């Protein structure tokens, strides 16, 4: 089977085109990553011999947009069909000076977090590097003439369960002759897998890291996130400290606020103890409703009371109100085509 061109590092693509003049390789990269033209037949300055070679020896297949739905704030969720018939979702979140892509790394997820729609689905398979890069290129093309500025691996799946392909994706898009995507504007989120956090740190590939924490009390986190029964908070914190020794970036602690679950005084106390000696910031995220799950979103009064208590924390804190909840495109709501996305 032909290798997918979007799975190749620039140097790997150059090697495959060694029989052609070097400038042809640079032209091809510019078509793919500069102009977002993905079909060789539309690359007008490439000779026919090169086009024929590309079509015969490489695949240019990308995920296909099956459905899309935009919220009032223009946050847009895209359901993408893959070549094997599976579906994933990505979300583009526009803002005045930035455009963020929430990208998926797996079809489904094996981690079964109790508050997450994707977790209810279970894991079907990992996405290939080409399928992850493909999402980014599709989003960059949609954003034209503006630039896609931020990338968060917070879509479907646990990125560190597909670490090899996530790392290759980062290598591809960070290359100077592709997208030159800034590590400072890239965040990989995890439910907390210590050995994979250490592998990420040791890889030498730069990215920001976010931990989906949601409780700093082991018993509560056990109920919210089954991974905690395997890797409790003490193990995760040790891995975060290792990552921080290797990285110039702070860690982000993501904390979904669920009334009657993790918004009490004991929760603040435990969070203060967990985060006290970490170089981190804390994002509080009001829970987004997922049908058939036994949780509710906090009221505005509950939010303000909690944030007032949270002022005792020593880290920078932010209340991040998820966008796209009305189209099931917010944090924890992505579930492929299982959420009834309509055009």
Which pLDDT value is given to residue 67?
Answer: 95
Structure tokens at 109: 């997820």
Structure tokens at 178: 């592709």
Q: Which letter does DSSP use for residue 84 in this model?
A: T
| Bridge partners of residue 69, in order along the sequence | 77
Q: What is the pLDDT of residues 86-96, one digit of tens each?
A: 999 999 999 99
Contacts of 68 (CB under 8 A, 6+ apart): 76, 77, 78, 79, 341, 343
The H or E element containing residue 268 is: helix 265-275
How many angstroms separate the CA atoms of 92 and 200, rounded?
Answer: 25
331 is catalytic: yes
pTM of the shown model = 0.94
- Asked if residues 268 and 216 have their Cβ atoms less than 8 Å apart, the reply is no
Q: What share of the chain is helix, strand, coil (3-state, %, to 5)?
A: 40, 20, 40
Q: Which listed residue (109, 116, 191, 331) is catalytic?
A: 331
89 is catalytic: yes
Report the alpha-carbon angle 78-333-118, nearest 5: 95
Q: What is the pLDDT of residues 75-132, one digit of tens each?
A: 999 999 999 999 999 999 999 999 999 999 999 999 999 998 888 889 999 999 999 9
The H or E element containing residue 250 is: none
Q: Which listed residue (89, 131, 158, 254) is catalytic?
A: 89
Domains and CATH numbers, the chain: 3-59 (1.10.150.530), 64-339 (3.20.20.70)
Which pLDDT value is given to residue 320?
Answer: 87
Dihedral angle sign, alpha carbons of residues 220, 226, 231, 237: negative
Rg of the chain on CA atoms, in Å: 21
Q: What is the mean pLDDT of residues 293-316?
A: 94
């Amino acid at each position: 089977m032909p290798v997918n061109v979007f799975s190749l590092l620039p140097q790997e693509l150059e090697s495959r085109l060694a029989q052609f003049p070097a400038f042809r390789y640079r032209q091809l990269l510019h078509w793919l990553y500069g102009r977002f033209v993905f079909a060789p037949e539309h690359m007008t300055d490439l000779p026919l011999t090169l086009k024929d070679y590309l079509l015969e020896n490489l695949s240019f297949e990308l995920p296909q947009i099956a459905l899309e739905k935009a919220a009032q704030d223009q946050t847009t969720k895209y359901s993408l069909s893959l070549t094997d018939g599976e579906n994933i979702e990505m979300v583009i979140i526009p803002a005045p000076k930035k455009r963020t892509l929430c990208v998926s790394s797996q079809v489904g997820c094996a981690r079964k977090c109790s508050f997450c729609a994707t977790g209810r689905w279970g894991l079907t398979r990992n996405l290939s590097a080409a399928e992850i890069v493909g999402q980014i290129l599709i989003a960059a093309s949609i954003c034209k003439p503006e630039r896609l500025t931020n990338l968060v691996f917070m879509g479907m799946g646990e990125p560190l369960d597909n670490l090899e392909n996530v790392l290759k994706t980062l290598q591809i898009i960070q290359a100077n002759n592709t997208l030159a995507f800034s590590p400072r504007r890239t965040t990989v989120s995890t439910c907390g897998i210590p050995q994979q956090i250490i592998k990420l740190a040791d890889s030498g590939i730069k990215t920001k890291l976010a931990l989906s924490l949601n409780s700093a009390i082991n018993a509560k986190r056990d109920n919210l996130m089954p991974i905690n029964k395997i890797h409790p908070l003490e193990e995760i914190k040790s891995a975060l400290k290792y990552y921080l020794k290797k990285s110039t970036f702070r860690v982000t602690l993501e904390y979904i606020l669920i009334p009657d679950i993790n918004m009490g005084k004991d929760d603040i106390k435990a969070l203060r103890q967990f985060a006290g000696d970490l170089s981190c910031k804390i994002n509080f995220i009001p829970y987004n409703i997922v049908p058939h799950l036994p949780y509710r979103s906090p009221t505005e009064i509950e939010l303000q009371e909690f944030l007032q208590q949270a002022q005792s924390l020593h880290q920078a804190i932010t209340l991040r109100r998820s966008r796209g909840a009305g189209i099931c495109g917010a944090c924890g709501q992505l579930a492929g085509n299982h959420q009834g996305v309509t055009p």
